[in-house]
Amino acid sequence: MAALPRIVSPFDATTIVSRLDTASRRGRMAGFEKGSGGTLFGVETFGAFYDGMLSARGESDGAGTALRLSHRLKPKMPLIFTVIMIATVWPGVWLTDSFLANFEFARNWIPTWWWYLPLSIVSAVWALWEAQRRNEKVIAVSIAEMAQKIATEIDGRIEN
């Protein structure tokens, strides 16, 4: 993922959080949360498969405040997706084996799990990798849109 932009605003940190909270209450700032412990605030970013959280830390910048953005994925959905991919492999072996038992040519063939497990594990790893790759592209767009919304709400400018 590319470097995240820096947003410079003429307002102090308290005013920035107050303006963004107002925008959130009016429906213009999705998933806004006031921060704690050095983080001013967080807003949701939306991906193709998994969502994330864009957080901002404030630094004094002359007469105003510079926001340093950081991003992280919410861990629940990638974990659920991975568990489902793993949990569905063995039932697939059983289902495929019972299907193949209906055909004469497959009854005394090699055991189903010998060929089914390598195929399903490789495709599961590929699916996880592809989901992550697509998600990063969509989240990059979401981050850019959210940074622009934040800059608009706090009369700031975006610096890269």
2-6, 49-53, 140-144: segment of lowest average pLDDT: 2-6
Instruction: Give the pLDDT score at 1.
Output: 62
Instruction: Give the pLDDT score at 62.
Output: 83
CB-CB contact of 154 with 7 (8 Å): yes
| Amino acid type, 97 | D
Reference 142, options 62, 57, 53; nearest CA is: 53
| Amino acid type, 5 | P
User: Which of the four pLDDT bands, split at 50, 70 and 90, describes residue 37?
Assistant: confident
Instruction: Give the pLDDT score at 103.
Output: 86
Longest C-alpha distance within the chain, in Å?
A: 82
Domains recognised in the chain with CATH numbers? 6-74+141-159 (3.30.310), 76-132 (no CATH)
Residue 35, pLDDT > 90, answer: no
The number of helix segments (H) and strand segments (E) in the chain equals 4, 6
CB-CB contact of 132 with 140 (8 Å): no
Radius of gyration (Cα) for the chain, nearest Å?
Answer: 24
Residue 4: enclosing H or E segment and its boundaries? none
Residue 55: enclosing H or E segment and its boundaries? strand 52-61
CB-CB contact of 72 with 1 (8 Å): no
Instruction: Give the pLDDT score at 95.
Output: 94
More confident: 145 or 160: 145
Give tens-digit pLDDT for 77-131: 999 999 998 899 999 999 998 898 888 887 778 888 999 999 999 999 999 999 9
Give tens-digit pLDDT for 126-157: 999 999 999 999 999 999 999 999 999 999 99
Instruction: Give the pLDDT score at 121.
Output: 92
Report the half-sphere exposure of 76 (CA within 13 A, side-chain side): 3
Q: What is the mean pLDDT of residues 9-21?
A: 93
